[in-house]
Amino acid sequence: MSYAYLFKYIIIGDTGVGKSCLLLQFTDKRFQPVHDLTIGVEFGARMITIDNKPIKLQIWDTAGQESFRSITRSYYRGAAGALLVYDITRRETFNHLASWLEDARQHANANMTIMLIGNKCDLAHRRAVSTEEGERFAKENGLIFMEASAKTAQNVEEAFIRTAATIYKKIQEGVFDVSNESSGIKVGYGGIPGSSGGASGSSAPGGGCCS
Amino acid sequence: MQEADLHDLSDDPDYAASQQQALGRSLYRSDSAKSTEMDSGGGGGSETVYVKDNVAIHPTQYASERISGRLLLVKRDSSLFMTWIPYKLSVGGTDSTGRSSNAGILEKDRKLYTIKDVPLADVHSIRRHTPTLGWQYIIVVLSSGLAFPPLYFYNGGVREFLATLKQHVFIVRSADDANVFLANDFQDPLQKSLSSLELPRVVSVANGATLHGSVGALSSVENSERRNGDMQIATSSSEYSGRNKHKLHDPARDISIQVLEKFSLVTKFARETTSHLFRENHNNDSSIHERKQLDHKPSSASTDTQKISSAPVAPDPLEFDKLPLIWGKQRQQPLDVKEWVCFLDAEGRITDSKALRKRIFYGGVEHSIRKEVWKFLLGYHPYDSTYAEREYLASVKKSEYEIIKSQWQSISPAQARRFTKFRERKGLIEKDVVRTDRSISFYDGDDNPNVAVLHDILLTYSFYNFDLGYCQGMSDLLSPIFYVMEDESESFWCFVELMERLGPNFNRDQSGMHSQLFALLKLVELLDTPLHNYFSKTECLNYFFCFRWLLIQFKREFEYEEVMRLWEVLWTHYLSEHLHLYICVAILKRYRQKIMGEEMDFDTLLKFINELSGRIRLGDILRDAEALCVCAGENGDACIPPGTPPSLPLETASLYPQQDQDDI
């Protein structure tokens, strides 16, 4: 299927916070509590529409265990967006956010859009991290923030799309050099943005990489 | 300078060239190698800023087999280079393994491990280990992801080493881990530009690498010709870099010739086998490709890249002469009960274990007797044990298991509250066993007791081997074992045996994985130089795309039944302990045309390899791997550092020395 842009996303966060479930809910619109744990990385993809433009999200779902951090770091390269996920019922997954963020800042494109997600908000009775704390952390670190539930699908769609919209806006503002693949953005068939002004400078790669 | 006791590698152009390739460095570097030789003779524009003697590499787990050498930091043209050169004679010269050609092996190891002129600009990070007990060591990780084996500072001095580094290059302590120092961590754009100014060679590498993708005017054919041209120049200059000018060999060609000779030799003795391995490979490649187009919707990988498979692909060197090459042998039916009992004597001993292992190598075993056979293959039952001895062993081991299990079972909730490590470990295992093979009926459904057994075995193992603990991937390795054994204690001990070999896969510093990825790099370089060069060009030499294959022995790549078949074949160690690495090479070779033709970059390749899961034909791949293993012969062995998993450790010293900084 043709798309105007392809955005690479990476989902990071501690093991068991629901990264793979968020991905599955987003790509297949279903919740599968029984699935195999992620070794290395898994991939998902979905088309969305922003500003009437078809955008393909290619999503990298990573293994969360500490031991695999050195491998996970190699996946950041060229990601335009990241979903940093914690589990609102497990305090330690929130406490580890700073270290994940550090990794992301160090190994990803500086313009990468990061969305902080407090997952499992359907389990409010077991909540161990308040919404305010999540908001505060996001604000302090310049992240977008949402609480979501992969189980009920609450805010899942919104989280992925809002991240994409932010990236799209950055393209419009010329923050990204979309001709550079390390930005995590590829320009697709016939998707050369006409109205974005000269800043994005994307007409050349549009012809170059797709024909 | 104590030049006399250093092994001078300048007379070894083969090695110098292979090192350069292995590190994925620029072809231009051969010039710098040349200047090194001149510098060490006359002292041109280079300055040695740091020298440390008695810095050793442990090729095996055992300090007694260390290779000692000298670590140097040399500054040249305002760039810093790191070199580690082993001494000519190993300390003590002993070989506790009792291996034959002692000197040969040491010589080979020395060549394998020597670190020559690695620019600090290529270094990503340095992890230091300065335990209060035991030797200090560092692990140097390159930006490509490749890591060198730990360098042990026998006389101490890691701190001094890092201090010296700091004076010359920009390194910062990682906020994440106080023992990790990041080099070239360019948060600061000023640093970045400064650094690129200082590193003309690196700039040229980058130019070379991006040339292809970015300059639209040049056709890819021209580009690849240009690169080939560079390669020849580089090779010839490295030839001249040696002092012994009579040794004018192109190492890559030498190896290919040896490989081809070996192949034709094998062919002579195996006329009855008619298939042409690599030609057929090639055909299969295209037929698989066609089938995919028919059966599946076009793979997303190819639509994402939106590239057509038009790039010229260098031919497979093993296919080059169209020699009548042989396949690995035709695979046989699995070993059945009738045949199995023939291997046992009256008291239950296996008299010819080699014949048994060979038989299983070529066909696997029927599921009904796996329970019995696997215990031998894994080393839990000695081949020469009798029925009675095994029965006794089972009862002793059962009570031993119960004792270890009771250690964690007796931890009270109050105690657990004050035992974070235990709680974390238990929590992790609880989360993971319910995410392990739940689609298999043996493990499906709510409150499945078999899942609870997986939990108990893993938690007990983490007490049996507290240093290693639990790491994701272990449940994947345990699941088929318990599925086969159906007995908790027997499964535990079989798992223990398996972890004796694969435990290093889960080392926190990833050393076991790095040594396998390194060996894989070397094997591909040997068996498919064009593919190696392609990976080098596309910065894929870290081989992270094979990570899952290696970590859990292809567990996620095949159907459950096939995984069990594959594992029993691997566990025979019939042709090699490292057949799994040849399997990696075999799979990559099957898809070389696609990988290079579609010009896959790291991301695309990783996705492509991931999506091969469930599509690899086990029988074919095993035959390819066998042929590659035979073909590579000693040259293949030489690619694999001693101690690379699943090699069995020879002593039981502290196996996981790096665990002192473990926090789980």
Q: Token pair of B215, please?
A: 């300059």
Residues A67-71, mean pLDDT to the nearest whole number:
88
pLDDT of residue B110: 72
Q: What integer pLDDT is reported at residue B93 of this predicted model?
A: 42
Contacts of B75 (CB under 8 A, 6+ apart): B46, B47, B48, B49, B81, B168
Residues B91-101 pLDDT 10s: 444 444 444 44
Let me know if A140 is exposed, middle or buried by CB neighbors in 10 A (0-12, 13-18, 19+). exposed
Contact indicator for B478, B367 with CB cutoff of 8 Å: no
Q: What is the ipTM of this complex?
A: 0.88
pTM: 0.67
Mean pLDDT, to the nearest integer, of B50-56?
Answer: 89
Cβ neighbours of B607 in A, within 8 Å: 43
What's the rounded Cα separation, in Å, for the pair B350 and B372? 12
Q: How far is CA B360 from CA B153, B352, B375, B569, in A?
A: 44, 13, 14, 6
What is the nearest CA distance from A107 to chain B, expressed in angstroms? 9
Torsion of CA B616, B622, B623, B626, to 10 degrees: 140
CATH class of segment(s) B386-506: mainly alpha
H-type alpha helices, B306-412: 337-342, 353-363, 367-377, 387-409
Q: What is the pLDDT of residues B136-173, one digit of tens each?
A: 888 888 877 677 788 888 888 888 898 888 888 888 88
Whether residue B86 is predicted with pLDDT greater than 70 in this model: the reply is: yes
Assess whether pLDDT exceeds 90 at residue B548. yes
DSSP 8-class letter at B350: B
- Mean pLDDT in residue range B308-324: 58
Rounded to the nearest angstrom, the minimum Cα separation between A83 and chain B is 18
* Extents of the domains making up chain A: 5-187
Q: Which helix (H) or strand (E) holds A78?
A: none
The mean per-residue pLDDT over the stretch B167-181 comes to 81
SS (H, E, C) A82-114: EEEEEECCCHHHHHCHHHHHHHHHHHCCCCCEE
Q: What is the pLDDT of residue B89?
A: 61
Q: What is the pLDDT of residue B131?
A: 73
Q: Which among A91-100, A182-191, B199-208 has the top mean pLDDT?
A: A91-100
CB spacing of B606 vs A41 below 8 angstroms: yes
* Chain B residues lying within 8 Å of A70, measured CB to CB: 141, 145, 510
DSSP string, B117-158: EEEGGGEEEEEEE--SSS-EEEEEEETTS-BPPPEEETT--H
Look at B547 and A71 and tell me if their CB atoms are within 8 Å: yes
Q: How confident is the model at residue A174 (pLDDT cuts 50, 70, 90)?
A: confident
Does the pLDDT of residue B573 top 70, yes or no? yes
Above pLDDT 70, what percent of chain B? 66
Compute the residue count for chain B. Answer: 664
Find chain B residues with C-beta within 8 A of A56's C-beta. Answer: 304
- Give the residue from chain A lying closest to B545, CA to CA: A40
Q: Across residues B555-560, what is the average pLDDT?
A: 97
With an 8 Å Cβ cutoff, are A39 and B472 in contact? yes
Contact partners, residue A89, CB within 8 Å, separation at least 6 = A120, A123, A126, A127, A128
Q: Is B459 exposed, middle or buried (0-12, 13-18, 19+ CB in 10 A)?
A: buried
Of 3.40.50.620, 3.30.390.50, 3.60.21.10, 2.30.29.230, the CATH number of B2-185 is 2.30.29.230
Q: What SS3 class is residue B611?
A: coil
List CB contacts of A181: < 8 A, sequence separation 6 or more: A78, B601
Radius of gyration of chain B measured on its C-alpha atoms: 26
∠ CA B93-B512-B153, rounded to 5°: 45
Handedness of CA B86, B87, B91, B97 (dihedral sign): positive
pLDDT of B441: 96
Q: How many residues does chain A have?
A: 211
Of A16, A41, A68, the CB nearest to B610: A41
Q: For residues B70-78, give the mean pLDDT.
A: 88
pLDDT for res B335: 97
Residue of B nearest to A33 (CA): B435
pLDDT digits (tens, 9 = 90+) for A141-164: 999 999 999 999 999 999 999 999
Collapsing DSSP to helix, strand or coil, B426 comes out as helix
**B450 CA: distance to closest CA in chain A (Å):** 15
Domain ranges for chain B: 2-185, 200-300, 386-506
Report the range of poorest mean pLDDT among A54-58, B272-276, B410-414.
B272-276
Which residue in the set A34, A37, A45 is minimally distant from B300, CB to CB? A45
| pLDDT mean over B320-344 | 75
Angle between helices B353-363 and B560-571 (to 10 degrees): 150
Q: What is the rounded average pLDDT of the residues B63-88? A: 85
Q: Per CATH, is A5-187 categorized as 3.40.50.300? A: yes
Quote the mean pLDDT of chain B. 75
pLDDT tier at B204, thresholds 50, 70, 90: very low
How far apart are the C-alpha atoms of A109 and A117, rounded to whole Å?
Answer: 20
What does residue B246 show for φ and ψ, rounded to 5 degrees? -75, -15
pLDDT band at B183 (very low <50, low <70, confident <90, very high): confident
Residues A11-53 pLDDT 10s: 999 999 999 999 999 999 999 888 899 999 999 999 999 999 9
Asked whether the beta carbons of residue B438 and residue A35 sit closer than 8 angstroms, the reply is yes
Is the pLDDT assigned to residue B19 strictly greater than 70? no
Q: Which residue has the higher pLDDT, A208 or B190?
A: B190
